[in-house]
Amino acid sequence: MIKLFYKILDTLKNFDFSLFLKLNLIVLKKNYSKYPDYVEEFEKTLANKFNFKYCLSFSSGTAAFYASVLSLNLKSKSKVLISALTFPSVIEILKKQDFDISFINVDKNFKFDLDNITNQKYDLLVLTHPFGFYIDIGNLHKILDEKTKIIFDSSHAQGIKIGDQDHMKFADISFISLQGNKAISGGEGGVIFTDNESSYHQMINNHHPGHKDNVKLKVAGGINDLKLRMHPLAAILAKYDLRKFKNKNKELTEKIKSIYNHLHNIGIEHPYNENSHIGGFHFGIPFFTKKKLLSKYIKRYNWYEDLSSLQIKSLSSENDLTFFEELRFIDLEWIKKNNIYNIKNEINKIFKDVN
């Protein structure tokens, strides 16, 4: 009974009447189809937030990535490089294109393994920034040049800044998923960010019937490819998250730094150090261990562990599966809901026999 009382109290504390009212008015007016003005307003707000000329919404992060790839007009057999830490649906999209795909491993500091890198150049780099970490591409200069296109999957790293710029500015196109419990969430959906006008308009023409800038606007459902619009109500929900994003991200970043420091003090290997850029977290707090840990707060990595099995070539010196065998993460939703004192006590219990 007491637990139920606190659950109701927590719900009321976080209840936003203005959001509730706005959603109900939209539903009552049935203004939740095609491309209503508030979706375009949401896109402009996001573009301004992250300092981009253009933002465009999609039905999912995967759809946003698919549209991004098509907009680059890459030729058949273009050479594409990805990280071993790449979300499965992104890999599946690439496999459906006629590309020559290779992957590169990262080490336990989330840095690239460059031991076996040649001077062969790549047409496209697709890079996922996982678990709230920015993976630096600076040391890939041997295989990237001014002609290499770059797409960032920043779904799990929203809001990271490198100097005074958002990290997404270092790619030609960046996309984020708005699904689930992301830092900015609409329940479902995704968006792209770019400063490239040509790519932006090509994505509209390919995937967004009813958009005011679509060249086939006068044709019912007129587009050049698949319809991939986001459901309009997702824009309302995501814009609500966006209002609180900066402060929530800052608070969570400080909390997670404290957790990493605690893991360091008790001798647990993890990828964070004082030079790491982190923020916009998803999934949880990654660490490495060979021990079997029995806790409901510890999760296993469940993306593809061996990209060679997908007929994707490795550029790394060897395909080190021990990285994935030892990779675990502490559940992020549990971290969000608990104070740092309780978290550290629970971590001590979980890891008491590890060393």
Going by pLDDT thresholds of 50, 70 and 90, the confidence category of residue 237 is: confident
Note whether residue 7 is domain-resident: no
229-261 burial, b at 16+ Cβ within 10 Å, e below that, comes to bbbbbbbbbbbbbbeebeebbeebbebbeebbe
How far apart CA 344 and CA 266 sit, in angstroms, is: 11
Does residue 8 form part of some domain?
no
Q: How confident is the model over 242-291, as pLDDT tens digits?
A: 989 999 999 999 999 999 999 999 999 999 999 999 999 999 999 999 98
pLDDT tier, 169 (very low <50, low <70, confident <90, very high otherwise): very high
Task: Give how many domains the chain has, as a whole number.
Answer: 2
The mean per-residue pLDDT over the stretch 67-89 comes to 96
How far apart are the C-alpha atoms of 217 and 240, rounded to whole Å?
30
The answer, yes or no, to whether residue 141 has pLDDT greater than 50, is yes
For residue 52, what are the CA distances in angstroms to 84, 86, 172? 28, 24, 11
Confidence of residue 20 (pLDDT cuts 50, 70, 90): low
Q: Which residues contact 352 (CB under 8 A, 6 or more apart)?
A: none
Pick from 217, 241, 265: which residue ends a domain? 241
Instruction: Give the per-residue pLDDT at 248.
Output: 93
CATH of residue 27 = 3.40.640.10
Q: How far apart are CA 162 and CA 36, in angstroms?
A: 34
Q: Is 320 helix (H, G, I), strand (E, B) or coil?
A: coil
Per the structure, the complete domain to which residue 272 belongs is given by 245-350
Mark whether 102 and 183 lie in a shared domain. Answer: yes
Q: pLDDT confidence of 135, banded at 50, 70, 90? A: very high
Mean pLDDT of the chain, nearest integer: 88
Considering the domain architecture, whether residues 179 and 269 belong to the same structural domain is answered as: no
Task: Specify if 1 maps to a domain.
Answer: no
Residues 102 and 145 reside in one and the same domain? yes
As a whole number, mean pLDDT of residues 107-129 equals 85
Indicate whether 58 and 94 sit together in one domain. Answer: yes
Residue 142 predicted with pLDDT over 50: yes
Res. 6 pLDDT band, cuts 50 70 90:
very low
The answer to whether residue 5 scores a pLDDT higher than 70 is no
Asked if the structure places residue 19 within a domain, the reply is: yes
Q: 250 and 231 share a domain?
A: no
- Please state the pTM of the whole predicted model: 0.91
Cβ neighbors of 109 (< 8 A, separation 6 or more) are 271, 273
Q: How many CB atoms lie within 10 A of CB 62?
A: 22
249 and 234 in one domain?
Answer: no
Asked if residue 355 is part of any domain, the answer here is no
pLDDT value at residue 352:
85
Domain closes at, from 241, 276, 300:
241
159 and 166 Cβ atoms separated by less than 8 Å: yes
Selection from 194, 97, 87 nearest residue 150 by Cα: 194
pLDDT tier for residue 13 given thresholds of 50, 70 and 90: very low
Q: For 208-218, write each residue's pLDDT tens digit.
A: 998 999 999 99
Q: Which helix (H) or strand (E) holds 4?
A: helix 2-13
Question: Using CA of residue 301, residue 302, residue 307, residue 308, what is the dihedral sign?
Answer: positive
Q: What's residue 36's pLDDT?
A: 83
Domain contains 3: no
Q: What average pLDDT does range 161-180 have in this prediction?
A: 95
- The mean pLDDT of 170-198, rounded to a whole number, is 95
Mean of the pLDDT values across residues 132-147?
87
CA distance 56 to 71: 13
Enter the DSSP assignment of 276: -
Q: Sign of the C-alpha dihedral, residues 9, 14, 20, 23?
A: negative
Handedness of CA 287, 60, 312, 81 (dihedral sign): negative
**178 within domain boundaries:** yes
Strand partners for 145: none
Q: Which residue has the higher pLDDT, 276 or 240?
A: 276
Q: How many CB atoms lie within 10 A of CB 281?
A: 25
Model pLDDT, residue 110: 92
- Does the structure show a pLDDT above 80 at 105? yes
- Residue where a domain stops, chosen among 215, 241, 267: 241
Highest mean pLDDT, choosing among 67-71, 134-138, 307-311? 67-71
31/113 same-domain check:
yes
**Residue 322's pLDDT band (cuts 50, 70, 90):** confident
> Are 216 and 101 within one domain?
yes
Give the Cα separation of 255 and 233 in Å (integer).
Answer: 31
**Looking at the structure, do residues 110 and 156 belong to the same domain, yes or no?**
yes
Closest CA to 253 of 298, 297, 300, 285: 285
For residues 164 and 235, state if they share a domain: yes
User: In this structure, are 310 and 325 located in the same domain?
Assistant: yes
Does 283 map to a domain? yes
Q: In the predicted model, is pLDDT for residue 330 greater than 70?
A: yes
H or E element in which residue 246 lies: helix 232-265
Residues 230, 294, single domain; the answer is no
